[in-house]
Each structure stands twice: as structure tokens, then as C-alpha cells.
Amino acid sequence: MAKIEEYIPLVGQAVIDDLRLLSERLKGKVIQHINSTPVGGGVAEILNRMVPLLRELGVDTKWDVIKGEEQFFGVTKKFHNALHGRAEEITQRDFDIFMQTSQENIENVDIYGDIVFVHDPQPIALIKKKATNKWLWRCHIDVSDPNLKVWGFLMDFIVQYDSAVFSAPAFSRKLPIRQFLIPPSIDPLSDKNKELPEETINAVLRKYNIKKDKPILIQISRFDRLKDPIGVIDAYLRVKKYIDCQLILAGGTADDDPEGFKVLEEVKEKAKNDPDIHILLLPQNDIEVNALQRASDIIVQKSLKEGFGLTVAEALWKAKPVVASNVGGIPLQIKHKYSGLLCHSVEGASFAIKQLLSSPAYAMKLGENGREHIKNNFLITRHLRDYMLLFLSLYHPEDIVNL
Ligand code: UDP
């Protein structure tokens, strides 16, 4: 795993010096992250890198995961969809199931952090254990247009936190507590994003029996309706009428997402007669994700709703041309026609893909601009700085600007 010094060639000495200065000021404080899954999805992705780097900087950082049965995660998945604005029938029984598992976690999860950093709705009720320590609620979801029944339910917990953190201004809501806006990040030196030798890339293609004889389109995402894998196939089919190409839909499922297998079956059914559609159920293997992204000609993220959309940052960092929906955090990363192409529909996605396949120089320019944008805004070094400033601000709200 990369050490903090290794980031110097990418971001400069001053950035790393700054991180060291900030971490000094957090000596003696224990930061306890709590979420609902150790693997799968963007939250776990970030914590897997954030936690070791904070520790290396000398910030005493721990990470705990709550427990829950399938029924609980069925409910929290419904909450997730409803918070994104999708129509969901939420019943009193759902709230009861949520509270029952929450109660078990309240009894079983040890709270020892000076700062308890709770991610997303699943562990939100742990706030009932608040004593004199500081509690942060980190919302990774775009809650700009939520189901108000679910949002109202969560509000009873949120107001008990010291502060809330959202990924972007457009994601947040009016709250009676302090709010911070901190976009997520990618780690340029992780297995997911580091440079790879051509041989590694080719070996992964061979493993999955994919030839490079025609352009490769790819979407890498959990098999989730909000990622619209069926829409990706429809867009590909439209492109294919004009330009021969192949499509990879690659994804795993997350422990806290029980819907995944159902969606995967639907996708397989839709793709079954087309040998140029490769559906890969990836094991948790970052090198493979990295290799597949690098092997592709165009990276698609046709989500119907999105949090920040880490896959877009990962793709742009690899200087790939990206076609992605204009939802959630994606427009923060893609300026249309400058660092990628934004779309609003299957037709729009297929039009954009055709355009990029027929203009490789334009596609390459978009990719290069995208990489620069990610470098300047969405690398983990920026995120580490933001989080440490956030932690410090809980203790010294009045001198935050002087740090
Ligand atoms: N990812 C992965 N394997 C998969 C599917 C996704 O490693 O099979 C990773 C992906 O590369 C990204 C994260 O999981 O780092 C997904 O984060 P994103 O913000 O795109 O979406 P989320 O799943 O959090 O909605």
C-alpha cells in the first residue's frame, strides 16, 4: 500500500507537508469511522484508503462496521432508493425492522472515538450512544429530492449530530446543525488507479476471454437499477447498428445490497443472445477493475441517480473518454464537451458514444482534460486535508480560518 511520501511526485511536497502539520494538531484524538460494509461501493472504497493514510500521518483512526441481517439491508436499500427520489413503498414495518437492528447495534457496537464519524443512513441510530464525544454524519447520497417520509424519520437522528457532511452543495438540505461540503476522492496510487503494465491489462482480458478486435465500451458498477445496466445495453445496441463494438458490464454486489442478484439476472437475460456483451461478476479485485478500465475505449456511467460517482473519477484519472449521465456528482467531474460527455437518455448516451468512437482525437482530448480536473480536485490528498480540517473545526470552530 502506498506511503504518504509516494504522493509527492503527483501533488507536490507542500501538500504533504500541510497534511503533516494538520495531523500533528490531532494528536491524542481517536477518530472512529462506522459504516455498514467493509467492501463494495464507494464508501468502503474510500475508507479502505483513507483509514491507513490517516494512521500513517499519525491520526489514531479506527473503522467499525455494523451488523445486520438481509431483512435490515433490504430496508436500508429501500431507504437509499427513496432518498434518491425513487418511488418506494415504505411501511411502518420497515421502520420497525430498521429500529430493531439499530437497537442491536446500539447494544453491541463499542463507541470509543473522540470523534465518531458515521457514514450514511444504515448506522445513523448509533447517535443514541452520544456522550461527550463529537459525532459527524457523513451523507454520501444525493438527498436534494428525497422521499420525505424517510427523510423525516432520519431527521430525528441527524439533528442530534454535531455536524453533517455532504458531497456537494446540490446534495444537501437545510439542517439545524452545521454542514460541511466535502467531495469524495480517489487514490491515484491504489491498485484500482495506479499505472499498470500492458501485460497485466492483457492478462485480465485473456482471463475474461475478451479480444481487443473491436472497440470496448464498459460500465463498471454494482448491479443496481439506479446504475441502469439495462439502459447501457440499449445504448450499446443503438451504437452497434452503426459501429461494430463490444460491451463489458462488470460489477460485484455489495454486502449491504440484497437487490444485486435480481438485477444481474435481468441483465443476463437481456444480453443472452449477444456474444459481444460480456457480463463479468468481478471478485473484489482492484487490479482487474483497473485493467478493464484501462483496456476500454470508452467508459460509460449511465446512472439514473448517483452519489458522487467514483467510477467516473477513476475513469477520468486514467484519461479515458467518459459518457455519463448528468446526475448526482457526475457534473462536478465532467464539464460537458470539455472533460467528457454528459447525457440524459439512452439516445443521448448512444449518440455521444458514436461521436467519440468516430473522433478519436476529440475523445483523447476529453480524457486528458478529465485527468487534469481529477488531479486538481478529487485526489485523496485533498480529501485527507478536508477531513482533518473538519475534525479540528469541531474543537476550534472560531479559528478554523487561521489553520
Ligand atoms: N467497484 C468495484 N468492483 C465492482 C463494482 C464497483 O471495485 O464490481 C468499485 C468502483 O470501482 C468504485 C466503487 O466500487 O470505486 C463504486 O463507487 P461509486 O461511487 O461509483 O458507486 P456506489 O457503488 O457507491 O453507488
Q: Tens of pLDDT along 113-161?
A: 999 999 999 999 999 999 999 999 999 998 999 999 999 999 999 999 9
Query: Which residue has its alpha carbon closest to ligand 1 atom 23?
Result: 41
Instruction: Tell me the C-alpha distance between 162 and 49, whole Å.
Output: 25
Residue 285 CA, closest ligand 1 atom number: 7
CA of 259 to the centre of ligand 1 (A): 15
CA–centroid distance, 289 to ligand 1, in Å, is: 9
> What are 364's strand-pairing partners?
none
Q: Give per-residue burial for 1-17: e unless 16+ CB within 10 Å, then b.
A: ebebeebeeebeeebbe
pLDDT tens track for 165-198: 999 998 889 999 999 999 999 999 999 999 999 9
Q: For ligand 1, is residue 308 a contact (CB within 6 Å)?
A: yes
Helix boundaries (H) for 272-379:
286-295, 310-317, 330-333, 346-358, 360-377
- Ligand 1 centre from 15 Cα, in Å? 27
Q: For the chain, give the percent of residues with pLDDT over 90.
A: 90
Q: What DSSP string runs through 350-402?
A: HHHHHHHHH-HHHHHHHHHHHHHHHHHH-BHHHHHHHHHHHHHHHH-GGGGGG
Which amino acid is residue 350, in one-letter code? Answer: S
Rg of the chain on CA atoms, in Å: 21
Q: Is 309 in the pocket of ligand 1 (CB under 6 A)?
A: yes
**pLDDT tops 80 at residue 355:** yes
Residue 237, pLDDT score: 98
Q: Domain 198-377 carries which CATH code?
A: 3.40.50.2000
Q: pLDDT value at position 402? A: 41
Per-residue CA distances from 51 to 54, 288, 325, 382, 387 (Å):
5, 23, 30, 15, 11
If one residue of 222, 320, 379 were mutated to test the ligand 1 pocket, choosing by the most ligand atoms within 8 A of its CB, it would be 222
Ligand 1 atom nearest to 222, measured from its CA: 5
- φ, ψ (nearest 5 deg) of residue 133: -75, 170
Q: What would be the CATH architecture of the domain defined by 4-185+379-399?
A: 3-Layer(aba) Sandwich (3.40)
Tell me if 272 sits within 8 A of 242, measured CB to CB.
Answer: no
Domain locations in the chain? 4-185+379-399, 198-377
Average pLDDT, the chain: 95
Higher pLDDT, 264 or 40: 264
- Least Cα distance to 157 among 102, 224, 85 occurs for 102
Please work out whether the CB of residue 183 comes within 6 Å of at least one atom of ligand 1: no
Whether 45 lines ligand 1, by a CB cut-off of 6 Å, is yes
Instruction: Categorize the per-residue pLDDT at 1 as very low, low, confident or very high, splitting at 50, 70 and 90.
Output: confident
DSSP state string for 56-87: HTT-EEEEEE----HHHHHHHHHHHHHHTT--
